[in-house]
């Protein structure tokens, strides 16, 4: 193990903050980035609290997103309601396994893994869970990368609703599950953005309380 004082000096100790937008390092005392005009903070402000709040909202919405119908197919006047899972089962039974797997990963697995991963990251950054920085850094990177792909089901609904308007024969209307699901995707993306992975490195070097660093120097 390294000793805490064997690390190279950190930007925050020198009063330097890296801009969140353009990554230029500037003294925190000037307040806004001289290059791009963004506000300067040592770490993303209130990062863990915001991440947890957004994450919990997403976790709550995840339930109606999967239980409520995302669309209603009205065939010859008879309505059939489809949830994400019933659409998935249909593809599986049709024998379209690759598509079923893509939908399963994008709609069910990724949001769930994101929620777990971000709670894990927050716990680690608070120092409540022991961790390997290298691995958690990768977990964060993957979480950010994959988040957008969950939107695919919403786009499918949009396309079906727009295309399948065949009068009395068949129409498709969106259901309340679509709204809940879009909410889950957007909230998990916002949560991933508000998490600051540098908190993990701070924790590892024993320099905790980043919010205190922020407030001390502002």
Partner 1 sequence: MDAGSIRTTLTLPRAAHALIHEGTPIVGWGVAVFTILTPLILAGGLVYVCVPLLFGRIAPGGMFVARWISITEPWNMIEVFLLGVLVSLMKLGKLADLHFGMGFWAFAVLMFCMAAAVAAIDKKELWDRLEVAKNHV
**Which one, 109 or 217, has the nearer CB to partner 1?**
109
What's the min distance (Å) between Cβ of 147 and partner 1? 8
What's the min distance (Å) between Cβ of 159 and partner 1? 4
Dist. CA 107–CA 100, nearest whole Å: 10
**Which one, 14 or 96, has the nearer CB to partner 1?**
96
What's the min distance (Å) between Cβ of 108 and partner 1? 15
Nearest to 148 by CA among 186, 103, 118: 186
Binding flags for partner 1, 67-106, as an x/- string (CB under 8 A): --------------------x---x----x--x--xx---
List 65, 115, 122, 189, residue binding partner 1 (CB under 8 A): 189
What's the min distance (Å) between Cβ of 208 and partner 1? 28
Residue 73's DSSP bridge partners are 80, 172
**Which one, 21 or 129, has the nearer CB to partner 1?**
21
Q: Three-state SS for 73?
A: strand
For 90-146, the DSSP string reads HHHHHT-HHHHHHHIIIIIIHHHHHHHHHHHHHHHHTTSS---HHHHHHHHHHHHHH
Q: Three-state SS for 199?
A: helix
68 neighbors 50 (Cβ within 8 angstroms): no
List 25, 30, 38, 89, residue binding partner 1 (CB under 8 A): 38
Does 156 sit near partner 1 (CB under 8 A)? yes
For 133-184, the DSSP string reads HHHHHHHHHHHHHHGGGGGHHHHHHHHHHHH-EETTTEEEEE-HHHHHHHHH
Q: How many CB atoms lie within 10 A of CB 104?
A: 16
What's the min distance (Å) between Cβ of 12 and partner 1? 20
Residues that bind partner 1 (CB under 8 A): 21-24, 35-38, 87, 91, 96, 99, 102-103, 144, 147-149, 151-167, 169-170, 173-174, 176, 178-179, 182, 186, 189, 193
């Amino acid at each position: 193990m390294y000793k805490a004082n064997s690390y190279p000096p950190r930007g925050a100790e020198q009063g330097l903050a890296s801009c969140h937008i353009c990554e230029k390092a500037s003294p925190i005392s000037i307040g806004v980035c001289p290059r791009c005009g963004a506000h300067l903070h040592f770490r993303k402000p209130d990062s863990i609290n915001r991440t947890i709040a957004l994450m919990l909202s997403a976790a709550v919405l995840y339930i109606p997103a999967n239980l409520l119908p995302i669309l209603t197919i009205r065939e010859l006047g008879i309505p059939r309601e489809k949830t994400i899972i019933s659409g998935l089962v249909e593809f599986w039974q049709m024998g379209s396994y690759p598509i079923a797997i893509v939908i399963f990963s994008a709609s069910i697995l990724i949001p769930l893994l994101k929620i777990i991963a971000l709670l894990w990251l927050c716990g680690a950054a608070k120092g409540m869970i022991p961790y390997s920085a290298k691995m958690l850094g990768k977990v964060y990177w993957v979480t950010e990368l994959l988040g957008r792909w969950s939107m695919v089901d919403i786009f499918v609904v949009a396309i079906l609703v727009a295309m399948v308007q065949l009068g009395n024969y068949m129409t498709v209307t969106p259901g309340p599950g679509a709204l809940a699901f879009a909410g889950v995707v957007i909230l998990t993306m916002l949560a991933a953005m508000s998490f600051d992975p540098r908190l993990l490195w701070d924790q590892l070097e024993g320099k905790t309380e980043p919010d205190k660093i922020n407030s001390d120097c502002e």
